[in-house]
Amino acid sequence: MPNFRTLGASAFATATGLALVGTAFTGTGTAEAAPASLYAPSALVLTIGEGAHPATAAVVRAVTLSCAPTPSGSHPAPEAACAELAAADGDFTSLTVLREGRPCTREWNPVTITGGGVWQGRRVTWSATYGNPCELRARTADGAVFMF
């Protein structure tokens, strides 16, 4: 015969655990309901920096870009940037293809761009370095993602 006292405690613990799914604990030890979302998070930080390496480049400009549930952030054109990223399935490399007919000097003045954060629920970290600002514009001028 089952021990109802133990069964009752077990059922209470299970019910309590299930009730806490989807809640967030505050610093005071109380639980608050977390907002539910049907969209996978897409929140990025995009930077343009002077230097040859992402870790040491001096950031000149940086913006935030959130694409779900609606485009927003400090990016000047979040709707266009989110649409480009969605069309590229979050692949930054495909957004920086060299455009024909854009001549640049061969001066070495490296510029590094980065994209990091979460795209459709998965963590992303991306960077690319170009020889100079002209080369960067030759690769990104037709797009909105790195136009800030």
What string of H, E and C letters represents the secondary structure of the chain? CCCHHHHHHHHHHHHHHHHHCCEEECCCCCEEECCCCCCCCCEEEEEEEECCCCCCCEEEEEEEEECCCCCECCCCCHHHHHHHHHHCCCCHHHHCCCCCCCCCCCCCCCEEEEEEEEECCEEEEEEEEECCHHHHHHHHCCCCCCCC
Rounded to two decimals, the pTM is: 0.71
Dump pLDDT digits (tens) for 28-50: 444 454 454 566 789 999 999 99
Per residue in 108-124, pLDDT tens? 999 999 999 999 999 99
Q: Is the pLDDT of residue 98 over 50?
A: yes
Q: For the residues 82-95, what does the mean pLDDT come to?
A: 94
Can you tell me the mean pLDDT for 93-111? 87
